[in-house]
């Protein structure tokens, strides 16, 4: 971690200031091993392999640890090299455009391997702080350490070790994996400065009945419990079906003159068309994602609207992304 991260940190227990007590190992600007404490409650937090650690998987609730562990494993076994990531992210945070990031202090709630942090920094953010509970922080740190304005923190999204210091926060495909997503929503919103903005993307309940009735029982009773390497291989079967359908039917039809009118009537067309350009690996990741997580909530528009209302947000824009998920953008007030 870089010392400039300190200005954004606060104790997750009492909100007190965090101070650096000792540095055991550093590399230029980067503190690799060290020790912090809270000025308020004197609790200690370590820096391990460059990442300040505010949560230990063996000491948090079992459901959160299981979800974090499943995604951590996934992120270490899939690589990310698709150039479509920029457009994909902009689809999730619409109406936000790259210019919006200029000079902003940005919070990435559930940063995984840091894919979106890198885009935020590329688009001009002043500082980007990525928080994740899983082991993916190791990869995120490796991917972002060379940049002076990217910071990775291991912590629980519901107990953020941060001050209310952010111009903008986004959370993409993360809080629906919490037992109660509204708690994660509230927690992230509470770190945004008055007048700052928030973007959230979650799985929708609408149009996803086939997932909640067929895939969910399979996921909770079977696929999230089996050995992950076995699941990785097993998930190639549904991926092959998905891949064939998007490459042979949905993609060509939607791109052809006259075909789009027919495609509109096909099952799940908007989404299938949106992923038809993805390669095998990306589609495999999507399928694996839906099968591995012990917790996944599919959120109704009504619930989603309520979160924004309860947070006192204004100028809220809600969109139905690919007709299967909800994205929201709004201003957080004082
Ligand atoms: Zn404290």
In sequence order, the β-bridge partners of residue 47 are: 34, 52
Measure 139 CA to ligand 1 centroid, in angstroms.
28
pLDDT for 61 beyond 90: no
Asked if CATH classification 3.30.43.10 holds for the domain at 54-204+300-331, the reply, yes or no, is: no
pLDDT for 47 beyond 80: yes
Kindly indicate the confidence band of residue 69, based on its pLDDT and cuts at 50, 70 and 90.
Answer: confident
Domain ranges of the chain: 1-49, 54-204+300-331, 225-292
Measure 87 CA to ligand 1 centroid, in angstroms.
40
CA-nearest of 155, 139, 136, 183 to 295 is 183
pLDDT in tens, 14-30: 999 999 999 999 998 89
Measure 14 CA to ligand 1 centroid, in angstroms.
4
Q: pLDDT value at position 212?
A: 85
Measure 23 CA to ligand 1 centroid, in angstroms.
20
Measure 17 CA to ligand 1 centroid, in angstroms.
7
Measure 47 CA to ligand 1 centroid, in angstroms.
16
Q: pLDDT value at position 334?
A: 79
Measure 171 CA to ligand 1 centroid, in angstroms.
25
For the entire predicted model, the pTM comes to: 0.88
pLDDT for 62 beyond 90: no
Measure 181 CA to ligand 1 centroid, in angstroms.
25
Measure 160 CA to ligand 1 centroid, in angstroms.
12
pLDDT for 78 beyond 80: no
- Beta strand 44-48 with 30-38 is antiparallel
Measure 44 CA to ligand 1 centroid, in angstroms.
9
Kindly indicate the confidence band of residue 53, based on its pLDDT and cuts at 50, 70 and 90.
Answer: very high
């Amino acid at each position: 971690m870089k010392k400039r991260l300190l200005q954004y940190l606060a104790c997750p227990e009492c909100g007190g200031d965090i101070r650096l007590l000792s540095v055991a190992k550093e590399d230029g600007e980067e503190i690799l091993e060290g020790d912090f404490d809270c000025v308020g409650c004197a609790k200690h937090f370590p820096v391990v392999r460059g990442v300040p650690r505010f949560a230990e998987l063996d000491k948090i609730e079992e459901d959160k640890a299981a979800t974090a562990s499943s995604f951590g494993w996934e992120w270490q076994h899939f690589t990310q090299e698709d150039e479509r990531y920029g457009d994909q992210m902009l689809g999730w945070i619409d109406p936000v455009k790259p210019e919006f990031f200029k000079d902003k202090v940005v919070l990435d709630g559930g940063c995984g391997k840091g894919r979106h942090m890198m885009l935020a920094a590329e688009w001009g953010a002043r500082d980007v702080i990525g928080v994740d509970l899983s082991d993916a922080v190791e990869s995120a740190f490796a991917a972002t350490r060379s940049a002076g304005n990217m910071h990775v923190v291991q912590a629980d999204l519901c107990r953020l070790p941060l001050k209310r210091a952010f111009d903008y926060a986004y959370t993409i495909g993360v809080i629906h994996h919490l037992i109660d997503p509204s708690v994660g929503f509230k927690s992230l919103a509470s770190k945004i400065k008055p007048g700052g903005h928030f973007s959230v993307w979650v799985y929708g309940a609408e149009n996803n009945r086939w997932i909640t009735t067929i895939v969910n029982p399979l996921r909770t009773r079977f696929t999230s419990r089996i050995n992950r390497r076995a699941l990785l291989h097993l998930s190639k079967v549904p991926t092959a079906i998905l891949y064939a359908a998007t490459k042979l039917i949905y993609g060509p039809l939607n791109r052809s003159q006259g075909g789009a009118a027919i495609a509109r009537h096909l099952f799940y067309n908007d989404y299938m068309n949106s992923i038809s350009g993805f390669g095998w690996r990306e589609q495999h990741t999507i399928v694996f994602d839906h099968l591995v997580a012990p917790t996944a909530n599919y959120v109704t528009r009504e619930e989603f609207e309520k979160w924004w209302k309860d947070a006192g947000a204004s100028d809220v824009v809600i969109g139905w992304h690919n007709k299967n998920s909800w994205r929201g953008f709004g201003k957080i007030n004082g």
